Amino acid sequence: MAGFLKTIFHVDMDAFFVSVEELFDPSLKAKPVVVGGQRHERGVVSAASYEARKFGVHSAMPLRTAAKVCPQAIFVNGHPDRYREYSEKVHSVLTSFSPLVEMASVDEAYIDMTGTERLHGPPLRAANQLHRKMKAETQLNCSIGIGSSRLIAKVSSAKAKPNGILWVLPGEEARFLAPLDVRDIPGVGKVTEQNLQALGIRKVGDLCRFDDTFLEERFGKWGLALAGKARGEDAGGWFDTEVGADSDPKSVSHEHTYNEDTAAQNQLESTLMRLSEMVGRRLREGGLHARTIQIKLRYKDFTTITRAHTLKAPTQLDTEIFEQARALFRKNWREGAQVRLLGVHASSFGEEAEQGDMLEGDRRKRWKHALSAADRLRDKFGESSVSLAAGMKGGFRERTHENPVGLPGKGRQQK
């Protein structure tokens, strides 16, 4: 569809987590607020109110640092359920403007508005309506960037913040981008910024002075994409896909950072069990079967390793995930070393395996039954109501090592 002029909106909610928290507790309004955890906790800032940002607080900043630079800040725990609820409201507002909506995360979305002029008028008019309707139906502010590509829409919404609308006219893309820092291009982070700076490239306009092949030699595939981005094109990668074309998930993972580092093997292994259960549950919910199981191990000094194993047949069973995770852990953990973080990751999704072995198939079948029963209990009574993990809080039925889930007996039929 090259040569076809598109109109893309990027809608980005302003200080989303903070704004949602304010709806639940209006006393937070107009105050320095930090969402993500308490001031003394191990963790980082998920979102900061504009008042807190004045003190230098920003997302990804360690909570303890935020407490230092802004002692008067109010620290609030995050509420993912609330954000999901409001994200759905946002989504439904957007779909009333175009069927081609793609949520890029809980708080931002792309909309392909190409060809909606007869319905909504020219882009600015449509954006104004959308902005008003968003406020009316969600009580939340957003910023809207309008451009001929996802990239331009994304960059212009950032420049429109807070609570603004910015339209980059077709043909003006390169001129809009030229004076911006290379860091403003999505995908250019700290490292790429440094690498570019070493070549004397600081502004997007500086990039245009180098030709595509030079950038490709220097930075590989990514260099070529970068050359296109400097002109405002959705060159390569995810940006190059049609808005609204939903793609299949590639991986599912859960990880946990301890409030205090630990070297207790039983504690570490019950964490692995809990993480394996969470991963298994998500696989079952998504109808996914994973062949590759990976663990992540972060030590006290922050050195981090990942170790993976690929199975012959894909699985979605907690027990099989845990078995692999524990084997990887035992093989790779430096015994006695203090652990900061553990993670379990599943990928290489494929079709459910044919069971050749009848006996083995029967055991798996019973586990599957048991697990879906456990899933239903968790739906009803909450995440902590059922656990395979030995020695962990929250189980409401007896568990043993022989019968860890407390559900299917080895010789009993489950109907």
Partner DNA sequence: TCTGGGGTCCTAGGACCC
Amino acid code (one letter) for 408:
P
In whole angstroms, the minimum distance from the beta carbon of 346 to DNA comes to 9
Q: What is the CA radius of gyration of the chain?
A: 25
Residue 114 near DNA by CB under 7 A? no
Angle among Cα 281, 283, 284 to the nearest 5 degrees reads 65
Residue 107 near DNA by CB under 7 A? yes
Among 18, 106, 230, 272, binds DNA (CB under 7 A): 106
Residue 161 near DNA by CB under 7 A? no
The Cα–Cα gap between 42 and 147 comes to 40
Report which DSSP code applies to 44: B
Q: Which stretch binds DNA (CB under 7 A): 25-33, 93-101, 232-240, 365-373?
A: 232-240
**What sign does the CA torsion over 108, 109, 110, 115 have?**
negative
Q: Which is nearer to DNA, 93 or 407 (CB)?
A: 93
In whole angstroms, the minimum distance from the beta carbon of 245 to DNA comes to 11
Residue 51 near DNA by CB under 7 A? no
Would you call 108 a catalytic residue per the annotation? yes
Residue 337 near DNA by CB under 7 A? no
The Cα–Cα gap between 272 and 277 comes to 9
CB neighbours of residue 76 within 10 Å: 22
The Cα–Cα gap between 351 and 361 comes to 16
In whole angstroms, the minimum distance from the beta carbon of 54 to DNA comes to 17
Instruction: Report whether 173 contacts 232 (CB < 8 A).
Output: yes
Q: Provide the strand spans (E) within 316-394.
A: 339-349
158 alpha carbon, distance to own chain's centre: 19
Q: Which is nearer to DNA, 220 or 394 (CB)?
A: 220
Among 310, 372, 384, 414, binds DNA (CB under 7 A): 310
Catalytic residue among 51, 108, 233, 277: 108
Residues labelled catalytic: 108
Residues forming contacts to DNA in the complex (CB under 7 A) are 42-44, 46, 59-60, 62, 64-65, 68, 104-108, 186-193, 220-222, 236-238, 247, 249-257, 278, 282, 291-292, 294, 301-302, 304-310, 340-341, 343, 348
